Amino acid sequence: MEVKPGYKLTEVGVIPEDWEVLPLAATVDFLDGQRRPVNDNDRAKVRGDIPYYGASGIVDYVDNFIFDDTLILLGEDGENILSRNCRLAFIISGKAWVNNHAHVLKPRHGYDIGFLAEYLESLEYEQYNTGTAQPKLNKQVCSKIPVLRPPLPEQTAIATALSDVDSLISSLDALISKKKQIKQGAMQELLSGKRRLPGFSGEWEVKRLGDVAPLQRGFDLPTTQIKPGTYPVVYSNGVLNHHSAYQVKGPGIITGRSGTIGKVTIINEDYWPHNTSLWVTSLKGNDVLFVYYLFICIELERFATGSGVPTLNRNDVHEYSVTLPPLPEQQAIAAILSDMDAKITTLESRRNKTKLLKQGMMQELLTGRIRLIPPAAHAVSA
């Protein structure tokens, strides 16, 4: 393997010549011996404002603490070790209580805690999993995980760059949450008639939902019989496949019949509603977008029955009363809510692109493929 000048081949791949590779046990002190789990009943007796941490973050709040420091927690067990639905390595600061589901790591001299947390978060842990029924990272295996050590100024520069991107992601998350709350409030007011749009007046009609948008059961389509095509196959939790044929002309509104109850999907093209879903057979002259937002606001979960897999009772849904304005007002309301959705989607797309940008930055910066501080600068500062 050819290695370009200024780099060297190591057990973790090609890295800059002035970077080191050390086992995790040589870079941190494990404070696992100080952890103490507290069961739910006992925590209920000691409620407070001090965070109680587990493998994936804050589990509860208690009135006492074990640690009062800036530390890294690394999840010790749980599906997140493999699925990575949330951070596995994260920094805590200040007073905290930690249970026995997260390793507690205190970086030694020569390590920037932000860099080390990001480096540990960037690793794939499947190779270190020692669990059978449940994924687990035991201390013995974790101690041997190879960790890179750039010069400290470069660690700090890398950590700062990644932290800046995290701040942007957090600000986008907060803005998305705010926009969703505003939209939720607008839906409750506009769809109930509590707030009327300028230029509209008159009484709304009260009708059974079954007289507005009756639901019908979807069609069976085993996964093995799906032939790749352009028509969406809509399940209880949304579009999961595309098929070469369709059963229903769009546009349509689909919601879960069994399994996932409460998710509502709108489809503009022709589609195949799966038998786990219910679909609207006729909109009775009403605006499809307006009816879609009505379904979202109904809280369909209340009509679920069954102790095992929940099933939506469409007869009960059909008896639910809704208020309807004339079609022009329906269309005006739907246009406003749809515009809000479009803005939220744009923000979510920007956030997702920023997350991908961070992933790319981590791959380049944490391996030394891109240097924020040239080697010559380290030599001068030394």
Residues of the chain with pLDDT under 70: 1, 376-382
Using an 8 Å Cβ cutoff, are 323 and 204 in contact? yes
67-106 residue pLDDT tens: 999 999 999 999 999 999 999 999 999 999 999 999 999 9
Integer Cα distance of 247 and 231 in angstroms: 9
DSSP string, 116-169: HHHHHHHS--GGG---SSS-B--HHHHHT-EEEE--HHHHHHHHHHHHHHHHHH
What residue has token string 């989607």? 345
Query: What domains are there in the chain, each with its CATH number?
Result: 20-148 (3.90.220.20), 150-199+326-382 (1.10.287.1120), 205-324 (3.90.220.20)
Q: What pTM value is reported for the model?
A: 0.84
Assign 214 to helix, strand or coil: coil
Q: What is the pLDDT of residue 378?
A: 63
Nearest to 353 by CA among 172, 180, 88: 172
SS3 labels along 250-304: CCEEEEECECCCCCEEEECCCEEEECCEEEECCCCCCCHHHHHHHHHHCCHHHHE
Q: What is the pLDDT of residue 308?
A: 77
Nearest to 362 by CA among 137, 127, 76, 89: 89
Integer Cα distance of 76 and 54 in angstroms: 9
